[in-house]
Amino acid sequence: MNSKKEFDHLIESFVAEERNKVFNPFLSTRIMAAIDKKKIEKMVIFSPVWKTAVIAVSLLVAVFTGIATGGLYQTKNTALDMVLMSDGSMEHFSFYNEIGNE
Amino acid sequence: MYEAELIDSILKGNQQDFVLLIKKYQQGVFRTSMGLVHNSEDAEEITQDVFVKVYQSLSSFNGKAAFSTWLYRIAVNTSLNYLRKKKRKNFWTGLTELLQVASKDKSIETIITERSDNAVIQQALDALPEKQRLAFVFSKYEELPQKQVADIMNISEGGVEQLLIRAKNNLKKILEKELNRP
């Protein structure tokens, strides 16, 4: 088993065995059928009926999302916030009136 | 009909002309994938996938390289992707099966040593680095001239020769180790 020739022979006979494997004689027919099937799937996906249906459903979803989002709004008493809001500390006008800082 | 005319005709919508292309190259694609996956059913499935891909992307074939070069590249990529997917899928199932068999009848060592020489050669081929394996498959399985192998693999002819020498040496090393085990 050690000789180089024996290894070569082993490899060659393995390759020959795999090379001589026969495939389905109707393989080309099978391939053409697969191509046709893919074409039909593509046609179904992009057919005008589907396009119209997808657009209609998208519009409905958009409308209902808008209504649902609008429904989330809650009225709130903002008057209280206005009272509590004091801008006195926001800007120190006295700072600009001091002579050294002018 | 010349290949370029045939492709033009297919692109114009004569789908039946594609059958001529399939018949011309199906054996080559089948053998190439056979050399990579070592299973005729898998190789048939890959051949089918390859030709479907070729049909779908025929318009992108620009004719810079030979059609066969382009086709073999698609065949190699499809086969390698198939193997990667299969490897991921089979890892756990294979391990479980081996352990189940081992626990029932024989030890793992006995099962592995009882494997036939063919399985060892297949394993040795699969253990080769990807480029060496591809060069080996193209020149031994498909018997393509070195120039075409170089074109498909996008390397020089000298590079292909080097890969083949290294592949042969590596195969022998692996086989010596595996087949001479006590």
Mean pLDDT of A16-23: 91
Q: Which two tokens stand for residue A53?
A: 């249906």
The segments of chain B whose pLDDT lies below 50 read none
| pTM of model > 0.80 | no
Instruction: Choose from B42, B136, B140 for mutation: most chain A CBs within 10 A.
Output: B140
Domain span at A28: 8-79
Q: What is the pLDDT of residues B155-168, one digit of tens each?
A: 999 999 999 999 99
Cross-chain residue pair B48–A27, CB shorter than 8 Å:
yes
Same domain (yes/no): B90, B122: no
Q: Are residues B121 and B78 in the same domain?
A: no
Give the list of residues 6+ apart from residue B7 with CB closer than 8 angstroms, or none: B21, B58, B61, B67
CATH of the domain at B134: 1.10.10.10
Q: Rounded to whole angstroms, how far apart are CA atoms B80 and B129?
A: 12
Closest CA to B56 of A90, A5, A41, A72: A41
Q: Give the residue from chain B lying closest to A3, CA to CA.
A: B176
- Residue A1: the pLDDT is 47
Q: In this structure, which amino acid lies at residue B121?
A: I
Helix H or strand E encompassing A21: none
Q: Output DSSP code: residue B116.
A: -
Q: Residue B176 and residue A7: Cβ atoms within 8 Å?
A: yes
**How many domains is chain B built from?**
2
Q: Are residues B99 and B128 in the same domain?
A: no
CA–CA separation, B104 and B98 (whole Å): 10
Same domain, B6 and B65: yes
ipTM of the complex: 0.78
How many structural domains does chain A have? 1
| Structural domain ending residue among the three candidates B88, B107, B126 | B107
pLDDT digit string (tens) for B23-35?
999 999 999 999 9
Q: Which domain holds residue B63?
A: 1-107
Average pLDDT over residues A37-47: 76
CB contact under 8 A, B48 and A30: yes
- Residue in chain B closest to A37 (alpha carbons) equals B52
Q: Is B155 helix (H, G, I), strand (E, B) or coil?
A: coil
Contact B26, A23 (CB under 8 A): yes
Q: CA B34 to CA B122: how far, in whole Å?
A: 11
Whether residues B167 and B126 fall in one domain? yes
**Which residues in chain A touch residue B34, judged by CB atoms under 8 angstroms apart?**
18-19, 21
> Are B154 and B93 in the same domain?
no
Please indicate, yes or no, whether residues B11 and B97 belong to a single structural domain of this protein.
yes
Nearest CA among B97, B83, B99 for reference residue B133 = B83
Query: What pLDDT does residue A34 have?
Result: 93
Rounded CA separation B58/B67 (Å)? 10
DSSP label of B60:
G
Kindly report the length of chain A: 102
Q: Which of A19, A23, A35 sits opposite B141 (nearest CB)?
A: A19
Residue pair B51/B75 in contact (Cβ under 8 Å)? The answer is no
Is the Cβ of A85 closer than 8 Å to some Cβ of chain B? no
Q: Which of B73, B107, B141 is the last residue of a domain?
A: B107
